[in-house]
Amino acid sequence: MGVNGPITLTVPLLKGKHNSKYITEVQISYHDSWIGDMLHALRSAYGAAPYFDFYYPEIEHILRAKHSHLWTLNEALRKLMIKRCGLEESIFANTREYQKSYDPPTLDIRSLKLKDYRPQKTDHQGYSQIFEDRHGFIAGLSILDALFCLGPETSLYLSRAEQ
């Protein structure tokens, strides 16, 4: 969440991202200074958050490692979020082969297009967010929003949200 509302942070990819490549083969482009831009956006949006200074260095370290592939970047960030949120690694396990569909209770979000997703304001029991005074509580922003604002309490918030 930024001062003017939700912001989208993206990782630019090299040519061929839609050419039927396995997700593990999609490469990240470093032609632009997106890492510095992303880190600046995070500092601007969450620098005043109570737990920003605690979690930001780890995120910065992962981004500055310049992973060659999107998969390895996502895995590094995913593992950090699981660890820092106190979640069970096994419920986020990767599959070994492609599954066409999943039976409930497994939530299949593969077809969700990020550009079509817009977080909604909600009456849901939230938490104190940066810029909440301007925009109200906005659910579903990002795990980073919860982590920077709630810190170690993120796991409790997530377990309440499941109920």
Q: Read off the pLDDT of each residue in 47-73 and give the average, rounded to a whole number.
A: 96
Q: What is the DSSP letter of 35?
A: H
Residue 3 inside a domain? The answer is: no
Residue 65 inside a domain? The answer is: yes
Q: What 3 state SS string does 67-118 have?
A: CCEHHHHHHHHHHHHHHHCCCCHHHHCCCCCCCCCCCCCCCCCCCCCHHHCC
Residue 14 inside a domain? The answer is: no
Asked if 48 and 130 touch (Cβ cutoff 8 Å), the reply is yes
Q: What is the pLDDT of residues 133-147, one digit of tens each?
A: 888 888 778 889 999
Structural domain tally of the chain?
A: 1
Residue 9 inside a domain? The answer is: no
Q: Is the dihedral of CA 39, 59, 10, 46 positive or negative?
A: negative
Residue 13 inside a domain? The answer is: no
Q: How confident is the model at residue 119 (pLDDT cuts 50, 70, 90)?
A: very low
Q: Which of 4-18, 30-44, 93-107 has the highest mean pLDDT?
A: 30-44
Q: What is the pLDDT of residues 13-32, one digit of tens each?
A: 987 556 677 788 889 999 99
**Displacement of CA 56 from its chain's centroid (Å):** 13
The pTM for the full model equals 0.78
Residue 1 inside a domain? The answer is: no
Residue 67 inside a domain? The answer is: yes
Q: What residues make up the domain containing 71?
A: 23-97+104-162
Q: What is the DSSP letter of 36?
A: H
Residue 149 inside a domain? The answer is: yes
